[in-house]
Chains A and B, each alone.
Chain A
Amino acid sequence: MSRIILFVVASLLLFTACKEESRILPKYGFEDVVDGDTLNHKIPPFEFINQDSQLVSNESLSDFIYVSDFFFIHCPTICPKVKKQMLKIYDKYEDESMVKFVSHTIDPKRDDVSALKDFSTKLGVDHDKWYFLTGEKDEIYDIADDYFNIAIEDETAPEGFDHSGKIILTDKEGHIRAFCEGTDPETIPQFIKDVSTLIDEYRQTP
Protein backbone atom coordinates (compact mmCIF):
# COMPACT_ATOMS: atom_id res chain seq x y z
CA MET A 1 0.00 0.00 0.00
CA SER A 2 2.70 2.42 1.00
CA ARG A 3 4.45 1.60 -2.28
CA ILE A 4 1.38 2.58 -4.18
CA ILE A 5 1.19 5.86 -2.31
CA LEU A 6 4.87 6.41 -2.98
CA PHE A 7 4.27 5.75 -6.65
CA VAL A 8 1.38 8.16 -6.76
CA VAL A 9 3.37 10.87 -4.99
CA ALA A 10 6.35 10.28 -7.26
CA SER A 11 4.32 10.49 -10.42
CA LEU A 12 2.55 13.56 -9.16
CA LEU A 13 5.92 15.19 -8.53
CA LEU A 14 7.09 14.15 -11.96
CA PHE A 15 3.93 15.51 -13.48
CA THR A 16 4.21 18.92 -11.82
CA ALA A 17 7.89 19.05 -12.74
CA CYS A 18 7.01 18.55 -16.39
CA LYS A 19 4.32 21.14 -16.17
CA GLU A 20 6.78 23.64 -14.74
CA GLU A 21 9.17 22.79 -17.56
CA SER A 22 6.62 23.54 -20.23
CA ARG A 23 5.86 26.90 -18.63
CA ILE A 24 9.24 28.35 -19.55
CA LEU A 25 8.53 31.21 -21.90
CA PRO A 26 9.97 31.16 -25.40
CA LYS A 27 12.44 33.72 -26.69
CA TYR A 28 10.82 35.35 -29.67
CA GLY A 29 12.38 36.66 -32.83
CA PHE A 30 14.79 35.53 -35.49
CA GLU A 31 17.94 33.88 -34.29
CA ASP A 32 21.33 35.22 -35.26
CA VAL A 33 24.26 32.95 -35.89
CA VAL A 34 27.50 34.51 -34.66
CA ASP A 35 30.73 32.51 -34.95
CA GLY A 36 28.72 29.33 -35.21
CA ASP A 37 26.69 30.07 -32.08
CA THR A 38 22.98 30.56 -32.38
CA LEU A 39 21.87 33.66 -30.48
CA ASN A 40 18.33 34.60 -29.64
CA HIS A 41 17.00 37.89 -30.87
CA LYS A 42 17.73 40.72 -28.45
CA ILE A 43 16.69 44.32 -28.16
CA PRO A 44 19.83 46.25 -29.13
CA PRO A 45 21.28 48.93 -26.81
CA PHE A 46 19.12 52.03 -26.64
CA GLU A 47 18.91 55.39 -24.89
CA PHE A 48 15.79 57.47 -24.53
CA ILE A 49 14.56 60.33 -22.34
CA ASN A 50 11.67 59.81 -19.94
CA GLN A 51 8.96 62.16 -18.67
CA ASP A 52 11.33 63.44 -15.96
CA SER A 53 14.09 64.22 -18.49
CA GLN A 54 16.05 61.24 -17.19
CA LEU A 55 17.96 58.90 -19.44
CA VAL A 56 16.51 55.41 -19.67
CA SER A 57 18.64 52.81 -21.44
CA ASN A 58 18.96 49.07 -21.84
CA GLU A 59 21.52 49.28 -19.02
CA SER A 60 19.28 51.11 -16.60
CA LEU A 61 16.65 48.44 -17.28
CA SER A 62 19.00 45.48 -16.99
CA ASP A 63 17.83 44.58 -13.48
CA PHE A 64 14.20 44.61 -14.50
CA ILE A 65 11.79 42.85 -16.72
CA TYR A 66 9.57 45.32 -18.48
CA VAL A 67 6.25 45.63 -20.21
CA SER A 68 6.24 48.00 -23.18
CA ASP A 69 4.01 49.50 -25.81
CA PHE A 70 4.06 52.18 -28.48
CA PHE A 71 1.59 55.04 -28.53
CA PHE A 72 1.15 58.74 -29.04
CA ILE A 73 -0.90 61.18 -27.08
CA HIS A 74 -3.09 62.51 -29.91
CA CYS A 75 -4.16 59.05 -30.96
CA PRO A 76 -7.92 58.75 -31.23
CA THR A 77 -8.10 55.11 -32.23
CA ILE A 78 -6.40 52.24 -30.46
CA CYS A 79 -3.98 53.88 -28.01
CA PRO A 80 -6.45 54.52 -25.20
CA LYS A 81 -7.58 50.90 -25.42
CA VAL A 82 -4.03 49.67 -25.19
CA LYS A 83 -3.30 52.05 -22.30
CA LYS A 84 -6.34 50.75 -20.48
CA GLN A 85 -4.95 47.23 -20.71
CA MET A 86 -1.47 48.45 -19.75
CA LEU A 87 -3.06 50.02 -16.68
CA LYS A 88 -4.67 46.71 -15.82
CA ILE A 89 -1.29 44.98 -15.98
CA TYR A 90 0.29 47.87 -14.06
CA ASP A 91 -2.29 47.56 -11.28
CA LYS A 92 -1.38 43.90 -11.00
CA TYR A 93 2.37 44.51 -10.64
CA GLU A 94 2.42 47.93 -9.03
CA ASP A 95 4.18 46.55 -5.95
CA GLU A 96 6.42 44.08 -7.77
CA SER A 97 9.82 45.76 -7.87
CA MET A 98 11.16 43.56 -10.65
CA VAL A 99 8.68 44.91 -13.20
CA LYS A 100 8.86 48.25 -15.03
CA PHE A 101 6.62 49.72 -17.68
CA VAL A 102 7.88 51.47 -20.78
CA SER A 103 5.74 53.40 -23.24
CA HIS A 104 7.44 54.76 -26.33
CA THR A 105 5.81 57.65 -28.11
CA ILE A 106 6.03 57.39 -31.90
CA ASP A 107 5.21 61.09 -32.24
CA PRO A 108 8.25 62.74 -30.60
CA LYS A 109 7.53 66.04 -32.35
CA ARG A 110 4.40 66.65 -30.31
CA ASP A 111 5.03 64.33 -27.38
CA ASP A 112 7.94 66.10 -25.74
CA VAL A 113 9.04 65.62 -22.14
CA SER A 114 6.48 68.00 -20.67
CA ALA A 115 3.61 66.53 -22.71
CA LEU A 116 4.60 63.06 -21.54
CA LYS A 117 4.88 64.26 -17.95
CA ASP A 118 1.40 65.73 -18.15
CA PHE A 119 0.07 62.53 -19.69
CA SER A 120 1.62 60.22 -17.10
CA THR A 121 0.39 62.41 -14.26
CA LYS A 122 -3.14 62.34 -15.62
CA LEU A 123 -2.92 58.60 -16.01
CA GLY A 124 -2.05 58.57 -12.31
CA VAL A 125 0.98 56.28 -12.45
CA ASP A 126 4.29 56.26 -10.57
CA HIS A 127 7.00 57.99 -12.62
CA ASP A 128 9.64 55.63 -11.25
CA LYS A 129 7.77 52.57 -12.31
CA TRP A 130 6.32 53.55 -15.66
CA TYR A 131 8.54 55.43 -18.09
CA PHE A 132 7.17 57.41 -21.00
CA LEU A 133 10.01 57.70 -23.46
CA THR A 134 10.79 60.03 -26.30
CA GLY A 135 13.85 60.51 -28.47
CA GLU A 136 15.00 60.61 -32.07
CA LYS A 137 12.26 59.50 -34.40
CA ASP A 138 14.51 57.12 -36.36
CA GLU A 139 15.70 55.45 -33.19
CA ILE A 140 12.16 55.02 -31.96
CA TYR A 141 11.09 53.46 -35.23
CA ASP A 142 14.13 51.21 -35.29
CA ILE A 143 13.50 49.93 -31.82
CA ALA A 144 9.86 49.44 -32.69
CA ASP A 145 10.99 47.09 -35.43
CA ASP A 146 13.01 45.25 -32.85
CA TYR A 147 9.91 44.78 -30.75
CA PHE A 148 8.08 43.57 -33.90
CA ASN A 149 5.85 46.53 -33.74
CA ILE A 150 4.70 48.04 -36.96
CA ALA A 151 5.23 51.73 -36.48
CA ILE A 152 5.19 53.16 -39.96
CA GLU A 153 4.15 56.70 -40.59
CA ASP A 154 1.04 56.46 -42.70
CA GLU A 155 -0.62 59.60 -44.01
CA THR A 156 -3.95 57.89 -44.50
CA ALA A 157 -4.24 56.61 -40.93
CA PRO A 158 -6.11 58.79 -38.45
CA GLU A 159 -3.74 61.42 -37.05
CA GLY A 160 -1.09 60.33 -39.54
CA PHE A 161 0.12 57.22 -37.82
CA ASP A 162 -0.73 53.61 -38.09
CA HIS A 163 0.77 51.20 -35.66
CA SER A 164 0.15 47.98 -33.88
CA GLY A 165 -1.24 47.73 -30.40
CA LYS A 166 1.03 45.03 -29.13
CA ILE A 167 2.12 44.90 -25.52
CA ILE A 168 5.48 43.24 -25.10
CA LEU A 169 7.32 41.59 -22.23
CA THR A 170 11.13 41.85 -22.29
CA ASP A 171 13.42 40.02 -19.87
CA LYS A 172 16.52 41.32 -18.09
CA GLU A 173 18.75 40.21 -20.97
CA GLY A 174 16.67 42.00 -23.59
CA HIS A 175 14.89 38.94 -24.97
CA ILE A 176 11.23 39.25 -25.89
CA ARG A 177 9.42 36.61 -23.85
CA ALA A 178 5.74 37.30 -24.38
CA PHE A 179 3.36 39.66 -26.11
CA CYS A 180 -0.34 40.27 -26.45
CA GLU A 181 -2.76 42.47 -28.34
CA GLY A 182 -3.50 45.58 -26.33
CA THR A 183 -6.68 46.04 -28.32
CA ASP A 184 -8.00 42.64 -27.31
CA PRO A 185 -8.79 42.42 -23.58
CA GLU A 186 -9.10 38.64 -23.84
CA THR A 187 -5.39 38.23 -24.45
CA ILE A 188 -4.48 40.09 -21.24
CA PRO A 189 -5.01 37.39 -18.56
CA GLN A 190 -2.56 35.04 -20.31
CA PHE A 191 -0.07 37.88 -20.63
CA ILE A 192 -0.34 38.62 -16.92
CA LYS A 193 0.37 34.94 -16.24
CA ASP A 194 3.40 35.14 -18.52
CA VAL A 195 4.76 38.08 -16.52
CA SER A 196 4.42 36.02 -13.34
CA THR A 197 6.10 33.05 -15.00
CA LEU A 198 9.07 35.22 -15.92
CA ILE A 199 9.28 36.65 -12.40
CA ASP A 200 9.35 33.08 -11.05
CA GLU A 201 12.03 32.14 -13.51
CA TYR A 202 14.33 34.82 -12.05
CA ARG A 203 13.36 34.02 -8.47
CA GLN A 204 14.21 30.34 -8.98
CA THR A 205 17.56 30.91 -10.65
CA PRO A 206 19.08 33.90 -8.90
Chain B
Amino acid sequence: MYEFHCAGCHLEDGTGLGEIYPPLTKSDYVIENIKDFACIISKGIRGPITVDGIEYNEEMPGNKGLTPVEISNIINYMNHTFDYGLAPQQLHETKEYLKRCE
Protein backbone atom coordinates (compact mmCIF):
# COMPACT_ATOMS: atom_id res chain seq x y z
CA MET B 1 0.00 0.00 0.00
CA TYR B 2 2.65 2.48 1.08
CA GLU B 3 4.80 1.40 -1.83
CA PHE B 4 2.02 2.04 -4.32
CA HIS B 5 0.49 5.24 -2.97
CA CYS B 6 3.31 7.07 -1.25
CA ALA B 7 6.75 5.82 -2.28
CA GLY B 8 6.71 7.65 -5.62
CA CYS B 9 7.20 10.94 -3.81
CA HIS B 10 8.47 10.08 -0.36
CA LEU B 11 10.51 7.13 -1.66
CA GLU B 12 10.50 3.55 -0.47
CA ASP B 13 12.82 4.28 2.40
CA GLY B 14 10.77 7.35 3.34
CA THR B 15 13.68 9.76 3.05
CA GLY B 16 11.94 12.19 0.69
CA LEU B 17 13.79 14.47 -1.72
CA GLY B 18 15.59 17.74 -1.10
CA GLU B 19 13.23 20.49 0.01
CA ILE B 20 10.52 19.16 -2.26
CA TYR B 21 9.21 15.95 -0.71
CA PRO B 22 9.56 15.84 3.07
CA PRO B 23 10.91 12.73 4.76
CA LEU B 24 8.57 10.41 6.62
CA THR B 25 11.28 8.66 8.58
CA LYS B 26 11.23 9.80 12.16
CA SER B 27 9.25 12.81 10.97
CA ASP B 28 8.59 15.04 13.96
CA TYR B 29 5.69 16.43 11.98
CA VAL B 30 3.93 13.07 11.80
CA ILE B 31 4.49 12.32 15.43
CA GLU B 32 3.24 15.71 16.62
CA ASN B 33 0.29 15.70 14.27
CA ILE B 34 -0.62 12.06 14.52
CA LYS B 35 -4.31 12.91 14.76
CA ASP B 36 -4.11 14.69 11.40
CA PHE B 37 -2.23 11.86 9.75
CA ALA B 38 -5.34 10.06 8.46
CA CYS B 39 -6.57 13.33 6.95
CA ILE B 40 -3.21 14.07 5.33
CA ILE B 41 -3.38 10.71 3.58
CA SER B 42 -7.01 11.11 2.63
CA LYS B 43 -7.14 14.79 1.63
CA GLY B 44 -3.52 15.64 0.97
CA ILE B 45 -1.75 18.66 2.36
CA ARG B 46 -0.54 21.99 1.00
CA GLY B 47 1.03 25.18 2.21
CA PRO B 48 4.11 25.74 4.33
CA ILE B 49 4.97 23.07 6.90
CA THR B 50 8.18 22.43 8.78
CA VAL B 51 9.50 18.89 8.99
CA ASP B 52 12.64 18.19 10.97
CA GLY B 53 13.69 21.82 10.74
CA ILE B 54 13.23 22.24 7.01
CA GLU B 55 10.35 24.19 5.53
CA TYR B 56 8.34 22.67 2.70
CA ASN B 57 5.78 24.50 0.66
CA GLU B 58 4.49 22.12 -1.94
CA GLU B 59 1.31 20.25 -2.52
CA MET B 60 0.51 16.64 -1.81
CA PRO B 61 -2.57 15.25 -3.56
CA GLY B 62 -5.19 13.38 -1.53
CA ASN B 63 -6.08 9.74 -1.88
CA LYS B 64 -9.84 9.85 -2.06
CA GLY B 65 -10.15 6.21 -3.01
CA LEU B 66 -8.61 4.86 0.18
CA THR B 67 -10.92 3.31 2.78
CA PRO B 68 -10.39 3.88 6.53
CA VAL B 69 -9.05 0.32 6.81
CA GLU B 70 -6.46 1.00 4.14
CA ILE B 71 -5.49 4.32 5.70
CA SER B 72 -5.15 2.65 9.06
CA ASN B 73 -2.95 -0.03 7.50
CA ILE B 74 -0.68 2.54 5.90
CA ILE B 75 -0.30 4.43 9.18
CA ASN B 76 0.55 1.28 11.08
CA TYR B 77 2.91 0.10 8.38
CA MET B 78 4.76 3.41 8.56
CA ASN B 79 4.77 3.47 12.33
CA HIS B 80 6.42 0.08 12.24
CA THR B 81 8.78 0.58 9.29
CA PHE B 82 9.93 4.09 10.21
CA ASP B 83 10.03 3.42 13.88
CA TYR B 84 7.77 6.20 15.16
CA GLY B 85 7.33 4.26 18.38
CA LEU B 86 3.60 5.00 18.51
CA ALA B 87 0.91 2.61 19.64
CA PRO B 88 -0.81 0.91 16.68
CA GLN B 89 -3.77 2.94 15.51
CA GLN B 90 -7.08 1.16 15.92
CA LEU B 91 -9.60 1.32 13.11
CA HIS B 92 -12.15 3.20 15.24
CA GLU B 93 -9.46 5.80 16.00
CA THR B 94 -8.67 6.25 12.32
CA LYS B 95 -12.37 6.71 11.62
CA GLU B 96 -12.56 9.24 14.43
CA TYR B 97 -9.54 11.17 13.11
CA LEU B 98 -10.99 11.17 9.60
CA LYS B 99 -14.01 13.10 10.90
CA ARG B 100 -11.69 16.04 11.51
CA CYS B 101 -11.48 16.75 7.80
CA GLU B 102 -14.90 15.86 6.52
Interface, chain A (partner B; CB < 8 A): 75-78, 80-81, 83-84, 87, 119, 121-124
Nearest 4 CB-CB pairs, A to B? A122-B19, A123-B18, A77-B8, A76-B8
A-B contact pairs, 20 of them (CB 8 A): A76-B9, A76-B61, A80-B8, A80-B9, A80-B10, A80-B11, A80-B20, A81-B8, A81-B11, A81-B12, A83-B18, A84-B11, A87-B17, A121-B19, A122-B19, A122-B20, A123-B17, A123-B19, A123-B20, A124-B18
Q: Give the residue among A78, A87, A119, A122 with the most B Cβ atoms within 10 A.
A: A122
List B residues at the A interface (Cβ < 8 Å).
7-12, 15, 17-21, 61
Contacts of B17 in A (CB 8 A): 80, 83-84, 87, 123
Between B11, B19, B20, the greatest number of chain A beta carbons within 10 A of the residue's beta carbon is seen for: B20
Shortest CB–CB separation between residue A183 and chain B, in angstroms?
Answer: 10
* Docked complex Cα distance between A119 and B11 (Å): 17
- The answer to whether B8 touches A122, judged by C-beta atoms less than 8 angstroms apart, is no
Cα distance A78–B9 when bound, in Å? 8
Q: With A76-B8, A80-B11, A81-B8 as given contacts, are A119 and B20 in contact (CB-CB < 8 Å)? A: yes
| Cα-based distance from A124 to B20 in the complex (angstroms) | 10
Shortest beta-carbon distance from B59 to chain A in Å:
9
Tell me, rounded to whole Å, the shortest Cβ–Cβ distance linking B2 to chain A.
14
Determine which of A78, A119, A123 lies in contact with B8 in the assembled complex, contact meaning CB atoms within 8 Å: A78
